[in-house]
Amino acid sequence: MALHRAGKFEEAEAGYRDCKRSGIDVAIPLSALLLQQGRNAEAIIELEPVAAAQPENFSAAVNLSIALRQQGEAERALDHARRACALRPGDASACNARGLAALAMEGNEEALAAFDAGLKSAPGNVPLELHRAKALRNLGRLRDALAAFERIVKVAPGMLEAWRDLGVVQARLGMVGPALASATQARKLAPDDSEVLLEYAVALLRSGRTAEAEQFLERGGGNGGVWLMFGQALLREGNVQGAHKAIERAYALEPGSPHVQHFRAALSGELPEGIESDYIRGLFDDFADRFESTLVNSLGYGVPNRLPVFLAEQGVEAFTDILDLGCGTGLMGVELAGGGRRIDGVDLSERMLAVAREKKVYRDLHAAEVLAFLQATQQQWDLIVAADVFVYIGALKSIFAAAWQRLRPGGHFVFSIERSDGAETQLVAETGRYRHQPQALCAALEEAGFIGIRQEDIVIRKESGHPVAGSLMLAQRPLRLA
Ligand SMILES: C[S@@+](CC[C@H](N)C(=O)[O-])C[C@H]1O[C@@H](n2cnc3c(N)ncnc32)[C@H](O)[C@@H]1O
């Protein structure tokens, strides 16, 4: 044990193994030594018989939990950590082991409770604080996580992991400048770590410092997502050739990424066939936390406000059952709620739906793709709405046909588009969004059986400070078939 404490691991291990052969129980210090060296599988072999024979052995339970979790066996790790917590309630090491095992299984509530309990007996314990902050972040409590990570970097300014986590939370909250400052601190602490360099490059890209980002991308080795981001930034600056190169590089690294495929198609001018569900889900799962602050506050997105006024102006006010296609975080639901209306929502992104659920204006919320949902349900509504959704879908004809079926006779279909004044459908490389030509949509709506088609041209939102031209379109399913 003296050798072990002195860091002479090899000699200490030989000594422990001699003891073991002589029948001396050294399972706990030997497993601790193995754990220190990352030899988790061997630690498990030492600890399992002890934990089975002595279920009251606290150290065996804690160490076994740590070894199992690091071996990827989170469920069994959690069982042993719970047992350790029952043996010594509030013990910091047991609480930490339980919290970490729960985190590994996405049991974020249990993890948070465990870290809180540990901090009661060991206030200010930095690892517990750090893990607690991660649980808060995973639970989507980003403001609380931000405050927690900020506290940690104050007391432990040399803790790389905390700076990196802080930067991630700041970025998710749209705090571009502070996220870059955190990434800068992380880079100072680990100037050669490729992941840290990549995170720094991303923070530079988000701050609009595209040219500076390239060298850190190269040094960090890059990955598909980051090269794509770089390509998009170049496109925004009008450097189409550079963007091509960057996106091809992204494609070489991650040919299966739906995000990369989408922008590659946009640049090449080819329209992707079908609905790109994986791309959309990924995009909005990632965007959910800052969707409303970005779109409404920074980009002046106004469709949810404008659309009910448009309906009223067109004399469409008598509707009770509403289906909100691509409901997102529920901005449209809030505007349409009240007066006994029942609103159902559909969206591909679970995280957007989670925000919508909190608004408590929807009757049912479905995690589904719009077309698949319309084609599978037998339900009918008086009004079907799609606000800023068809900017993510190229081919709309099948959706129009399905929406017609799901409207009660006399019911209305209203949606917004970004307007193309050229081709029927355009995929804009800078934004990755589709533009549709209203005349072509009118023809498609008529073909689907709609009548009374009306259109109002509006500014959908701003893009890089410039207004984006769009239209609201309204159509009606006839009361009876002609
Ligand atoms: C820009 S947001 C608009 C959200 C909301 N309608 C509003 O006006 O605030 C677009 C939403 O449509 C969803 N979406 C896009 N295409 C979809 C599809 N094919 N099926 C289901 N949801 C889709 C996205 O997940 C995202 O939440």
Question: In 345-370, which positions are buried (b, 16+ CB within 10 angstroms) versus exposed (e)?
Answer: bbbbbebbbbbbeeeebbeebbebbb
SS3 state at 131: helix
The reported pLDDT for the residue numbered 370 is: 98
Gap between the Cα atoms of 198 and 204, Å rounded: 10
Mutation probe of ligand 1 site: the residue of 280, 350, 391 with most atoms within 8 A of C-beta:
280
Cβ(276) to ligand 1 under 6 A?
Answer: no
Show the tokens assigned to 64.
């076994």
* Sequence letter at residue 376: A
Q: pTM of the predicted model, to two decimals?
A: 0.73
- Looking only at the bridges linking them, the beta strands covering 364-367 and 342-347 are parallel
Cβ neighbours of 94 (radius 10 Å): 28
Gap between the Cα atoms of 93 and 314, Å rounded: 65
The reported pLDDT for the residue numbered 396 is: 96
Nearest Cα residue to atom 10 of ligand 1: 389
In the chain, residues under CATH classification 3.40.50.150 are 283-476
Nearest Cα residue to atom 13 of ligand 1: 326
Centroid of ligand 1 to alpha carbon of 252 (angstroms): 29
Please, what are the averages of pLDDT over each run of 10 residues along the chain (482 residues)? Answer: 95 96 94 95 95 95 96 96 96 97 96 97 96 95 96 97 96 92 97 91 91 88 87 88 92 92 89 89 90 83 94 95 98 95 97 96 98 98 98 96 98 97 91 95 98 96 88 95 60
Nearest CA-CA partner of 133 in 92, 93, 161: 161
Centroid of ligand 1 to alpha carbon of 389 (angstroms): 5
Cβ(81) to ligand 1 under 6 A?
Answer: no
What residues pair up with 472 in beta bridges, in sequence order?
416, 456
Nearest Cα residue to atom 23 of ligand 1: 326
Question: In this structure, what are the phi and psi dihedrals at residue 30, rounded to the nearest 5 degrees?
Answer: -65, -45
What's the CATH number for 283-476?
3.40.50.150
In the chain, residues under CATH classification 1.25.40.10 are 1-139
Superfamily of domain 1-139: Tetratricopeptide repeat domain (1.25.40.10)
The reported pLDDT for the residue numbered 294 is: 83
For ligand 1, what atom is nearest to the CA of residue 416? 8
Centroid of ligand 1 to alpha carbon of 381 (angstroms): 19
Mutation probe of ligand 1 site: the residue of 281, 334, 347 with most atoms within 8 A of C-beta:
347
Cβ(392) to ligand 1 under 6 A?
Answer: yes
Nearest CA-CA partner of 262 in 281, 276, 248: 276
Residue whose structure tokens are 């639901």: 333
Centroid of ligand 1 to alpha carbon of 388 (angstroms): 7
The reported pLDDT for the residue numbered 465 is: 80
> Which residues touch 83 (CB under 8 Å, ≥6 apart)?
55, 61
Question: In this structure, what are the phi and psi dihedrals at residue 255, rounded to the nearest 5 degrees?
Answer: -65, -20
Going along 301-441, which residue ranges are E strands? 321-325, 342-347, 364-367, 381-386, 407-418, 425-428, 433-436
Nearest CA-CA partner of 67 in 31, 30, 108: 31
Cβ(284) to ligand 1 under 6 A?
Answer: yes
Nearest Cα residue to atom 8 of ligand 1: 387
What residues pair up with 461 in beta bridges, in sequence order?
468
Gap between the Cα atoms of 99 and 40, Å rounded: 19
| Cβ-contact 99, 131 below 8 angstroms | yes
The reported pLDDT for the residue numbered 106 is: 92
Type and span of the H or E element at 373: helix 370-376
| Cβ-contact 362, 341 below 8 angstroms | no
Gap between the Cα atoms of 347 and 381, Å rounded: 17
CB under 8 Å, gap of 24 or more: what pairs does 101-106 form?
A: 101/65, 101/68, 101/69, 101/74, 101/77, 102/78, 103/131, 103/134, 103/135, 103/138, 104/69, 104/74, 104/77, 105/74, 105/75, 105/78, 106/138
The reported pLDDT for the residue numbered 482 is: 57
